[in-house]
Structure 1
Amino acid sequence: MTRGKRETIICQSKNDGDFSYEEKKFICLFQPVELTQGECWKTILAFSFPIIVSYLLQQVYTISDAAIVGQTLTAQEVAGVNDTTSLIFIFLQFAFGVSAGFCVVTSCNVGAHNPAGVRRSLTTQIVLSAALTVILTVLALLLLDPMLAWINVTPDNGEVYRAAYTYCAIIFAGIGAQLFYNFICSFLRSMGDSVTPLAFLLFSTVLNVGLDLLFIIVFRWGVAGAAIATVSAQLISTLGCFAYAFSKYPELRLHQEDWQITRHDVTRHLIQGIPLGLQFSVLAIGIIVVQSIVVQFDMLGGAMVSNAAQNGFGAANKVNNLLMTPLNGLGSAMTSFTAQNLGAGDTKRIKKGTIQSLIIMLIMAACSILIGLLLTINGTYLHIFLSADKVTAETLRFGNSYLYIDLSLYAFLGFIFVARNCVQGIGKPQFVLGAGAAELVARVAVCLLLPAALAGGVVSAEAPQAAVYGLCVADPFAWMSADAVLCIPFFRNIMKEDYRYLYSGSGQGLVNGQ
C-alpha cells in the first residue's frame, strides 16, 4: 500500500489502533481538501486558512529580514538593498503569477478526476518553468544596469550602487529557485493541499533567517550574504518540497508518456499563466510611480529637506500589506476552488462558493479595518517600524492619511482579490490582464496629475494636505478601475452560469479531452 493511500485510509477510519488521536489528526492535516465536495464556505475556509498563514509568514519574514539587514549593514548598503525592492518585485511577482495561472489547468484536471491530465500538466509546467528561468535570468541580468538607472541608482552613487547591483545580480541569478518554489507550491494547492506549502514556507523562513545571521554576521559577506541566504533557502526548500510531493502523491510519479508534451499543452498553460504573471508585474510599475511622488513631498528646491513622507508612507504601506494578507489568501484559494469545480462541471457550486467567499471577504475586511484603525492610535504602527526619533507629527500625518483613505474603501480591494482569482479559475485570463492594466493606468494617472493639481503645479515639502490626499486616493481609484473590468465576467459568466466559451476557441480546452 502506498504512503498516500494509507494516510487517506487513516483519516477516513474512525478506529486505527496503530495511531493515537493526536497522531491521526496530525496526519490528516496534510491530506488535500476536497474542493468539489462539502459545504462551500467550510471548504473554502479550511483550504484558505493555511494559505493566509503562509502569506502572513512571508510578511513576517520580510520584516525580520529587513531588520537583520538594517541592523548589521552600513547605511549605504541598506539603502542599496531597499532601492532594489521594486525591481526585484517585477520579476518575482511575474514568476508567482505565471505559476498560479499554470495551475488553473491542473485544478481543472483534478476536479475532472483525470490523473493523466494532472501528470501532463506537471511535466508541461516543469518544461515551461525551466524555459522561463533561462529567459527571465538572462533578461534581468542584461537589463540590470538600465533598471538601476531608472530608479536613479548609478555608479555615481558609489557604495549604494555597488550594494544594489550585487544584491540584484545574485537574486536574479537565483530566480529559478523562486520560480520553481512558487510552481510546486501552486501545484500542490491546485490539488487541494495548502498545508504542505505552509510547512515548507515555515522551514524556508527559519532557514533564511539563520543563513542571514551566518553569512552576514559570522562570514561577513555583507550584501552578498543576504542575497545568497535568500536564494539558498529557497533552493533547499524547493528541492525538499518536490521530494515530499513525489513521495506523498504516487499519482504524480511520471511515466515516459507524460513527457510527450504537445503544442496544445504548452498553449493552454501559457494562456492561463502569462496574463496573470503580467498582471502581477505591472503592479510593481505602479508602486514605483507612487514612490516617486512620495519622495517629492520631502523635497524643496531640488534638495531633500525631510524624510517624513517616505517614513510615514513606508510604515503605513507595511501595515497595509499585513492587513490585506487575509484577503489575498482567501482570493488565492478561490482559484483552485473555481477551477476544480469547473473541471467537475459543477457551475452551481462555483456560483454558490463565490457568493459565500464574498461574504467571508467582507467579514475579513471589517476585521482588517478595525485592526488598522487601532494601530493608528498614538501612531502605534510607526513605533513598530521606526525608531522614536523618526516618529514625528509630520510622519504621523502622512502615514495616517494613507491608512485612513485605504481602509475606508477596503471592500473594493477585497472584491479584486476574490473576483480576480475566480475569473482566473474559470479560464478568463484576458479579463485578469485587463483589470491589471486598468489598475495601472488609474494609479499612474492619479499619481501624476492629482497631487500636482491640488498643490498648484508642483509637489514639494510645502504642498498642502489636499495634495497628500490626492496621492492617497490613487489606490482606491485603481481598485475601482480593476473592479469595473472584473465585473464583466463575474456577472456574465459566474453569476449567470454561462460557460459556453469553454466549448469554443476561447476555452482553450482547460481539461484534457475537452
Structure 2
Amino acid sequence: MLNGSIADKFLIFALPLAFTGMLEQLFNTADTMVLGRFVGKSAMAAVGNNAMPISLLVMLLLGLSLGGNVVIAQRIGAGNEKRASRAVHTAIIMSLFMGAILLAAGEALTGLIMNMLGVPAEILPMAELYLRIYFLGLPALAIYNFESAIFRSNGDSHTPLYSLMVVALLNIVLNLLTVVVFDWGVAGVVGATVIANYVNAAILWRKLRHSESYIRLEYRKLRYAAKELKEIIRIGLPAGVQGMIFCLSNLVVQSAINSLGADVMAASAAAFAIEINVYCFLSAIGQATTTFIGQNFGAKNIERCFQITKIALLSELAVMLFLGGLTTLFAKPLLGIFIQDAWIIELGVIRIVYVTLLQFLNGVTEVLSGTMRGYGYSTPPAMIALVTICGTWIIWVYTVFAAAPAFSTLLLTYPASWAITGAILFVVYMRYRRRLLSRFVTPVIA
C-alpha cells in the first residue's frame, strides 16, 4: 500500500471485501430460504421482525471496528511495530468487552424490544426465542468484526473472505440438519448462525495467533492502551452511530413504501435484494479507501493519499456505472428469481433504475467519508451524512412524496440525498485537504 502503483493494488484489495459482503448477504438469505421452505411464513415473519434491532447492533460493531482498522493502519504505515501491536491488542480487548456488554444488555432487554416492535401475539414466542438465541452469538460477532478490521488494516482482505466461505457452507449444512432432520425450526436456524459465528471468529483468532507481522496476537500482550482505545472510539463511534441512525431513518421511507400497497412492498423487497449486492462493491471501495489512506497517512505520504482518493473516485464511478448498467439491462430476469408476477417485476425495475443505476452518486459520499476517516477525521463526515441524507429522506417523504404519492417520486429521495451529501462533503474535503497541505511541506500533485 505504501509503494509502487496504486490502482491495481486498490482493486485487488477491494474485490475480496465486496465478495465478503455478498457472501454475508447469502449467509442471511440461506436462513430465510430454509425457514420459508421447511418451517413456514410465521417463522419468516418472526425473523423479519428482528431485522431492525439486529441491524442496529451490527452497524454499531461495524463502525467501532472501522475505528480499529484506521488506528492500526496508521501505526503500520508509520512503521511503529510497538504501537501497532498495542492497537491490535486494544482492539481485541474492546471486541471482547463490547460482545459481553451487548450480550448482557440484549438478554435483559429482549422483552422490552418485543413490546417496542409491537410483535403480533401469534409469532411473539418464536420472535423472542430467535432474538434471545441470536444475542448469545454477539460476542463472536463482535470479535469477528474487529478481527476482520485488523486483517484489513494490514492489507489482507482475503483471509476474512476465505474464512467466511467455509463458515457459510457450515451454516447451510447446519440449517438443513437442525430444521429438516431434527425439526428445531427457528431455534435450529438461529442456533446454526450462532455456531457459525463462533467458528468464524475462532478461525480468524487462530490466524492472528500465527501471524508473522505486526498484527500477531499474543496473550501476554492482551491489555488495552488508553491512547489507542481513545482513538478507536473517536474514529469508530461516529461511524457506528451514523449507521444506526441510517437504519432508523430508513423506517420513514419503508413506511411510505408500505403505504403504497403489497405489490410495491414486494417489488421493493425483491429489488433491494439485488441492490444490496451491488452496494457491497461500493462499500468495499469505501473501506479500501480508508485502509489505504490510513497506512499512507501514518507514513506521512500526503501526496500518495491525494492520489488514492482520486483513484478511489474514478474506480467507484467506473465500477458502479458498469454494475448499475448491467443490473438495469438484466433487471427483469434478475427480479424473476424472486418473484413471478409481471406487474410486480415492472415495479421492481423502477427501483433498480432510480436507485441501483444511480448508486454511483452515493459513491462520492462513500469515498470522501472513507478518505477522511483514514486521516482520523471521522466525526464531520458522519454528521454531514446524517443531517443531509436522513434529513432529505424525512423532508422528502412529508413534502414531495406527500404531494405526489407515487413509487418513483418516493425513490427519487435516494439520488437527491446522495447528490446533496456528495456536494457538501466535497467542499469539506477540499478545505481539509488545504489544511493538510499547510501541515506537511511536500510537493503535491494537484
Partner of 1:293: 256
Residue 471 of structure 1 corresponds to which residue in structure 2? 410
* CA 449–132 in structure 1, closer or farther in 2 if over 3 Å, else same: farther
CA contact (8 A) 2:90 2:223 kept: no
The residue aligned with 1:490 is: 429
Residues 341-391 of structure 1: CA distance to partner in whole angstroms, max 9, x if unpaired? Answer: 000010000101110111111110111121221222xx32221112x3xx1
Pair 1:53 & 2:19 matched: yes
Aligned to 1:325: 280
Tell me the distance in 2 between the aligned counterparts of 1:414 and 1:74. Answer: 38
The answer to whether structure 1 residue 365 and structure 2 residue 320 are counterparts is yes
Structure-2-length-normalised TM-score: 0.92
1:385 counterpart residue number: 338
Equivalent residue pairs, number = 438
- Residue in structure 2 matching 1:349, options 299, 304, 307: 304
Identity %: 24
Highest CA radius of gyration, 1 or 2? 1
Which blocks of at least 5 consecutive residues in structure 1 are unaligned? Answer: 1-34, 299-306, 456-466, 502-514
**Aligned letter for 2:350?**
S
Deviation at 1:483, TM superposition (A): 2.0
Q: Quick one: structure 1 residues 137 and 340, their matched pair in 2 at CA, closer, same or farther if it must change by over 3 Å?
A: same
Once the two structures are superposed, the pairs formed by residues 375-454 of structure 1 within 5 Å of their partners are 375-376=330-331, 379-386=332-339, 388=340, 391-393=341-343, 395-438=344-387, 439-454=389-404
Structure 1 residue 477, shift from structure 2 partner: 2.8
AA of the residue aligned to 1:384: I
> Which of residues 69, 72, 75 is equivalent to 1:109?
75
CA distance in 2, matches of 1:61, 1:495: 43
Q: Check if 1:254 corresponds to 2:218.
A: yes
Moved more, 307-316 or 279-288: 279-288
How far apart are residue 290 of structure 1 and its match?
2.0
Cα distance in 2, alignment partners of residues 46 and 275 from structure 1: 28
Distance 1:496 1:412 in 2: 26
Contact 1:435 1:483 in 2 (8 A): no
Give me the CA root mean square deviation: 2.1
Q: CA deviation at 1:122?
A: 1.4
CA 1:43/1:496 → structure 2, altered by over 3 Å: closer, same or farther? farther
Query: In structure 2, which of residues 238, 244, 247 is the aligned counterpart of residue 284 of structure 1?
Result: 247
Residue type of the partner of 2:75?
Answer: N
In structure 1, the partner of 2:444 is: none
The whole-number CA distance in structure 1 between the counterparts of 2:213 and 2:14 is 25
Unaligned stretches of 5+ in structure 2? 441-446
Match of 1:198 in 2: 161
Deviations 1:184-225 (A, max 9, x none): 011001011111111101111111111111111112111111
Task: Give 1:95's aligned residue.
Answer: 61
Aligned residue type for 1:474: T
Q: 8 Å contact 2:65–2:145 — kept in the other structure?
A: yes
CA distance in structure 2 between the partners assigned to 1:224 and 1:450 by the alignment: 44
Shift of 1:496: 6.8
Give the C-alpha shift of residue 446 in structure 1.
Answer: 1.9
Report the CA distance shift for 1:222/1:41 in structure 2 as closer, same or farther (over 3 A). same
1:480 equivalent in structure 2: 419
- Name the counterpart of 2:443: none
CA change 1:363–1:262 in 2 (3 A) is closer
Secondary structure of residue in 1 paired with 2:330? helix
Q: Report the Cα offset of residue 74 of structure 1.
A: 1.7
Q: How far apart are the structure 2 equivalents of 1:150 and 1:341?
A: 46
Q: Compute the displacement of 1:322 (Å).
A: 1.4
Deviation at 1:500, TM superposition (A): 4.0
Change (3 A) 1:396 1:59: same
CA distance 1:327–1:495, shift in 2 (3 Å): farther
Counterpart for residue 189 of structure 1: 152
Using the alignment, how far apart are the partners of 1:287 and 1:83 within structure 2?
Answer: 15
Change (3 A) 1:214 1:366: same
Deviation of 1:326 (Å): 1.4
Within 1, Cα distance between the matches of 2:255 and 2:165? 34
1:316 aligns with 2:274: no
2:229 is aligned to 266
Pick closer, same or farther for the CA change 1:293–1:150 going to 2, 3 Å.
Answer: farther
- Partners of 2:50 and 2:369 lie apart in 1 by 28
Instruction: Give the C-alpha shift of residue 131 in structure 1.
Output: 2.1
- In the alignment, the residues of structure 2 paired with residue 493 and residue 475 of structure 1 have an alpha-carbon distance, to the nearest angstrom, of 27
Deviation at 1:117, TM superposition (A): 0.9
Q: Offset at 1:334?
A: 1.1
How does the TM-score come out when normalised to structure 1? 0.81
Q: Secondary structure at the match of 1:159?
A: coil
Residue 65 in 1 paired to residue 18 in 2? no
Secondary structure in structure 2 of the residue aligned to 1:37:
coil
Q: Structure 1 residues 138, 452: closer, same or farther in 2, change over 3 A?
A: farther
Answer yes or no: is the 8 Å Cα contact 1:446–1:470 preserved in 2: no
